[in-house]
Amino acid sequence: AEDVQFLPHHRGRVMWDMLGVPMILHDIVAIPLQIAWSENSPSVLVWLMLMYWTLDIFVQFNTAIVTPNGNIVKNRKQVSLRYLSTRFGFDLLLILLDFVGLMGSEAINDVVWYRMVRSLRALRIVRALRLSKIQERIEEMMLDTGIERLLLMFAIGQTCISILIVAHILTCGWYLLGRSALDRGMPSWLDLMGDMGMWESYTHSLYWTLGHIMGGAVNPQVKPTSHGERLYSIFMLA
């Protein structure tokens, strides 16, 4: 039987996964911004990511799998059946949603359908789950190449990035809560801030979020004015 071409821990295979890390991080950062501020990524960048994830499906079909007992399975049929029965459907769905999103609203006459497709594209953030597997492969490659002394620096950097990502998501959530209240004609912390651009409102939200996370100073102007905002503040302090 024909065997697949790539081993999961081969250096070239790990480098391919590392190419996807910036794209996953982009989605982690960009998707909360898109939801909170209705901003879109540049279409050129989205096309590049679409090409990468499309090629990644081919790579997945040609990468050996490791069984729970440590055996490596290279048989193409077994590898293909494993991928088809696990992540293939979800990976294909994300690619189709990205393609439809790039077509623009002209490709979908129904506004409701277009908004639904745009919302479903937020599922791309689920790709962040791949980071744990990529991390394992990078660490194994470091050990194999004798640069294990960098593992500590790698772990510290990963922790710092994780804290920043959590703060970013909470920042976007705080702004989205205020904007949603405004859209419904309810009191909002944004009423107290006046007219602001995207990045000014983001920095105000980030300052408020970091103040709650770190137990530091918080801008007294940025305070909860609705029941939902107060619950969010309690969640941040818990």
Residue 41 has which token pair?
A: 């990524």
- pLDDT (tens digit per residue) in 206-224: 988 888 877 766 777 777 8
Contacts of residues 182-190 at CB distance under 8 Å and 24 or more positions apart, as own/partner, are 186/226, 187/225, 187/226, 188/225, 188/226, 188/229, 189/222, 189/223, 189/224, 189/225, 189/229
Residue 65: helix, strand or coil by DSSP?
A: strand
What pTM value is reported for the model? 0.81
**Residue 88: its pLDDT value, please?**
95
- pLDDT tens readout for residues 19-71: 999 999 999 999 899 888 877 777 788 889 999 999 999 999 999 998 888 88
Q: At 66, is the secondary structure helix, strand, or coil?
A: strand
- 170-188 tens-digit pLDDT: 999 999 999 888 888 888 8
* Overall average pLDDT of the 107-134 stretch: 72
Contact criterion met (CB below 8 Å) for 40 and 102? no
pLDDT in tens, 74-113: 999 999 999 999 999 999 999 988 887 777 644 555 555 6
User: How far apart (Å, rounded) are the C-alpha atoms in residues 104 and 92?
Assistant: 19
DSSP 8-state secondary structure symbol assigned to residue 194: -
> Angle at CA 122, nearest 5°, toward 120 and 123?
75
